[in-house]
Structure 1
Amino acid sequence: MATEIRVPTLGESVTEATVATWFKKPGDSVQVDEMLCELETDKVTVEVPSPAAGTLGEIVAKEGETVGVDALLATLNEGAAAKEAPKSEAKAESKADAPAKADPAPKGGSGGGQTVDVMVPTLGESVAEATVATWFKKAGDSVAQDEMLCELETDKVSVEVPAPASGVLQEILKNEGETVEAGGKLAVMTRGGEGQAHSVEEGAHETTQQDGGRGPVETGSGSGRDVEDAPSAKKLMAENNLSASDVTGTGRDGRIMKEDVQKALSSPKQADAPAPAQAPRAPVAAEDAAREERVKMTRLRQTIARRLKDAQNTAAMLTTYNEVDMTATMELRKEYKDLFEKKHGVKLGFMSFFTKACCHALKEVPEVNAEIDGTDVVYKNFVHMGVAVGTPNGLVVPVVRDADQMSFAAIEKKIAELGMRARDGKLSMAEMQGGTFTISNGGVYGSLMSSPILNPPQSGILGMHKIQERPMVVNGEIVIRPMMYLALSYDHRIVDGKGAVTFLVRVKEALEDPRRLLMDL
């Protein structure tokens, strides 16, 4: 049975890609999820895995060709690998491989003792390494298939590593605190029992792997570098007189991609220069030093620090303020909160009101929902609302996608779900990407006034604050009203002062008279 290999979804606003490298050739045997080829877009590199085990048939899109989303790349003959691989590969097998083949089935047993490698999973777009945060098991422990073995921490999310099979954790190769690369080996486990459905090659990744007939490729961390770099990267390096040692590869097995070369060209002296801009620490008295505690920053905290500083250095950031009388919104919420919770099963909070008000204002002032890409302004005809959430490990911003199309109940449910997943460290990369505008609620911590920092490449972020009763003049009389300060930080390169003020006034109007949201006023 033939299976079609097609171009996967390439990402937001990306419609085509270039076939960079085929790792296999027609007739090669492939396993499930083994990488067949790599596609390059103008933003990221996309690997195309095999959807099933079998034999690669015809390659339709050759290296260097441009393909669109869902275009046919190749065909795969399913089931052929298991039957044909032993015949075609038996002759090529060297004597050195014989022990690996005999390993899984020791004499006299019931087929137990097969060695299975525990590998670092794919860590996400543009993420090449992680830190081993916690091992839930120790060497010698029995584990069930899909039981969590350890947790890895990247600069964006935490990644859990499940057991690939049932068995015994034999050896832990990377301890807590060590850095590992995507595709690296974490541990070795032995699996017992009759159900050895995996191929013999499963435990034979220690030394080399076959790469599309081009010969063995080193997968260890040795100094030799036999990884084929992306063609576009090699061309760009040649044009700019760069060698592979001048560029840090972030692709599979350290493969250098086009964006890696572009990054090296934009900061050519970064590798040679010492860490910039940080002033040396002032001398500390010995008696004070004895009472200090030094803790290494987590990857998430390092990323937060870097991104916040990049936002200040890149954008022409400015903040405008206003205040909103929350009386009408609070009364509406009080009147309907019990009925709302009874019908929808979720509490009616303020975040849905603010999300709706922002979506309403963004339609009138679309530049606040846009971003700069080089010399272009990219306007978004949708609203993916980022909601800043404080967690024990730092601030993260999960995204409520298509918030402008959602009801109050749907917004409240999604925000509650994302908030819980954020605090548990269970957010995926996809849930934190693609936001077009952000809301940050410092009021939950008691903040009365602040200037939020942009979340690049977004051009706007709204800061909510504490609701506090203050004396206000209404119709010539002094009355007590629940007031909240609002702050809009925006990128002045794309948003003018008039647009920023208009946006904030529209949010204020919608919250002071929520009926305007129903009437689209």
Structure 2
Amino acid sequence: MAELKEARVPDIGGHGDVPVIELLVKPGDTVAKDQGLVTLESDKATMEVPSPFAGVVKEVKVKLGDAVSEGTVVAVIESDDAAHAEPVPAPPVASAETGAKVEPTAVAPVPDRLAQQSVAQAPAAVESGAPVPALAPVAEPGQPGIPPMRFEADAVLPAKVPYASPAVRLFARELGVDLDQVAGSERGGRISKEDVQKFVKSALAGGGVAPVAAAGGGSGLNLIPWPKVDFAKFGAIETRPLSRIQKISGANLARNWAMIPHVTQHDDADITELEALRVALNEENAKAIAAGKAGKLTMLAFLIKACVAALQKFPTFNASLDGDNLVLKQYFHIGFAADTPNGLVVPVLRDADQKGVAQIAKEMGELAALARDGKLKPEQMQGGCFTISSLGGIGGTAFTPIINAPEVAILGVSKSEMKPVWNGEKFKPRLMLPLSLSYDHRVIDGAAAARFTTYLGQLLADLRRAML
């Protein structure tokens, strides 16, 4: 049977007249056992008053600025499970308003929270020479897990602990925000939830340092500072500013490499017959190519056509991760890395599934020319589903291309090489093309990646399979 119970301030170390600085619940809220109701601030620590039982808040008995002491009623809660209370024997007390006898409820201990213990206990530990204990929040059964926090002894010294309540600390950790970077707007520089929210909004708008957190939550990268070196001390140097493209692409590549769990699948494709076909077709159309009426067929054009067929067979590779959802695309826009004097850019060839190899080659040539001249429009570099980075004209045997977010895979192509290949009876010289497929392991597993590269190799060995 549901009954009204009073939640009181527990033992707070003998402190009296401690002000209420934050209300964590309001009438009508459903609370779990040990969930914070209000936040108090003594001269040494901030602490939450936990609910001794689960139920529905019927009334909040205090307001911001009220001074409370041990035993002060902070809320009346309707509880239908007396077993949660774990009562501590105590004499009946009179309600402050009605004078009626009200059975006291359990006085639960203050949760073992980082802010309360670290700020309150660190001074004593420092003065006595005792080591400061490693503290970490402990999730109660049935409550969602709390992201782990790395403990460092120096970080719990009073001068280094950001001034915030336990609830605000938990809120910041769930968002991946480093409170050391947040300025507090409350009295004494205390950080509120609103301060954390403003910091995140500012970071997303480009006005601050964005928290680096993995999809699904967790703490930031917490990287050490970049080394500062006076290179001129060791010899002559030349300083050359990065190009605009290098600055933009560098930031994107660093983010993608840090945020996406990359795995690279390597394989070889037999392109002996395909290369012979490419050479023959270019010879047949030599006059049209010279007159600019047709584009020269490159291996990359055939690769794009083969990749479209592979994406159609394995749609997970033609997708993007959006929170807890996977967005499967019904269009096939293929990006290809273009090397320009100012740096690497990725033009996007749209609707590659609706075009033949000759048209793909012609449009690729036009996009590459615009890229070299710095005349690509923003829309010509947007909307890609899958990217191909080809180093075949330069050299190399394999590499790990970085995924172009928000895509989930990228194909790297190295220089083809004639190799002896066993055909079951003897070794025969075959032109082999190295493939390096990097994929987002949150979306694609190794078996799927191996199937993709195997199928792609079969298509390149005999492109007629693409018509099946």
TM-score range (shorter-chain normalised) is: 0.5 to 0.7
Are positions 1:319 and 2:264 aligned together? yes
1:395 and 2:344 aligned? yes
Pair 1:486–1:242, CA change in 2 (3 A): closer
Inter-partner Cα distance in structure 2 for 1:310 and 1:243? 22
Q: Which residue of 1 aligns with 2:279?
A: 334
Q: 1:307 aligns with which of 224, 235, 252?
A: 252
Q: Describe the SS at the equivalent of 1:281.
A: coil
- CA distance in structure 1 between the aligned counterparts of 2:452 and 2:199, rounded to whole angstroms: 49
Q: Distance in 2 between matches of 1:294 and 1:391?
A: 21
Would the aligned equivalents of 2:202 and 2:208 in 1 still touch at CA under 8 Å?
no
Aligned residue identity for 2:396 = S
Structure 1 483/312 Cα, relative in aligned 2: closer, same or farther at 3 Å? same
Name the SS of the counterpart of 1:425 in structure 2: coil
Distance in 2 of aligned mates of 1:245 and 1:451 = 35
> How many positions carry a matched residue from both structures?
266
Q: Percent identity?
A: 34
Label 1:262 to 1:424 Cα distance change in 2 as closer, same or farther (>3 A).
closer
What's the counterpart of residue 90 of structure 1? none
SS of residue matched to 2:369 = helix
2:368 paired residue number: 419
The equivalent residue for 1:297 is 242
Residue by residue over 1:178-222, the C-alpha shift from the partner in whole angstroms, topping out at 9 and shown as x without a partner, is xxxxxxxxxxxxxxxxxxxxxxxxxxxxxxxxxxxxxxxxxxxxx
Aligned pairs (5 A) from 1:82-481: 240-241=194-195, 260=205, 266=211, 277-284=224-231, 286=233, 288-289=234-235, 291-342=236-287, 345-481=294-430
Checking the alignment, whether the CA contact within 8 Å between 1:357 and 1:506 is kept in structure 2 is no
CA displacement at 1:307 relative to structure 2: 1.2
Quick check: 2:200–2:211 contact (8 Å CA) kept in 1?
Answer: no
Alpha-carbon contact 2:320-2:326 (below 8 Å) kept: yes
Query: Which residue among 446, 450, 462 is the counterpart of 1:497?
Result: 446
Residue equivalent to 1:484: 433
- Alignment correspondent of 1:512: 461
**Matching residue's letter, 1:513:** D
- Note if contact 2:337-2:390 (Cα within 8 Å) is conserved in structure 1: yes
Higher strand share: 1
Displacement of 1:281 in angstroms is 3.4
Query: Measured at CA, do residues 278 and 398 of structure 1 come closer, stay the same or move farther in structure 2, by a change above 3 Å?
Result: farther
Distance 1:339 1:265 in 2: 56
User: Match of 2:366, as an amino acid?
Assistant: E
Following TM superposition, by how much is the alpha carbon of 1:277 offset from its aligned partner in structure 2, in angstroms?
A: 4.2
- Report the TM-score when normalising by structure 1: 0.47
Q: Aligned partners of 1:261, 1:314: CA distance in 2, in Å?
A: 18
Q: Any conservation in 2 of the 1:340–1:346 contact (CA below 8 Å)?
A: no
- Deviation for aligned residue 1:484: 1.4
Secondary structure in 2 matching 1:390: strand
- Cα deviation for residue 387 of structure 1 reads 0.5
Distance change >3 Å, CA 483–CA 244, structure 1 → 2: closer
CA deviation after TM superposition for structure 1 residue 243, in Å = 9.6
Q: Is the 8 A contact 1:247 1:264 kept in 2?
A: no
**Where does the alignment leave 5 or more consecutive residues of structure 2 unmatched?**
1-191, 214-219
Q: Distance in 1 between matches of 2:244 and 2:268?
A: 37
Would the alpha carbon gap of residues 292 and 377 (structure 1) be closer, same or farther in structure 2, given more than 3 Å must change?
Answer: same
**Contact 2:333–2:384 (8 Å) recurs in 1:** yes
Larger radius of gyration: 2
TM-score by length of 2: 0.52
Inter-partner Cα distance in structure 2 for 1:412 and 1:263? 43
In structure 2, C-alpha distance between the alignment counterparts of 1:342 and 1:372, rounded to whole Å = 46
Amino acid in the other structure paired with 1:280: P
Q: 1:266 to 1:281 in 2, by over 3 A?
A: closer
Distance 2:197 2:434 in 1: 54
Q: CA distance change for structure 1 residues 505 and 242 in 2, over 3 Å: closer, same or farther?
A: closer
Structure with greater helix percent: 2
CA distance in 2, matches of 1:357, 1:243: 47
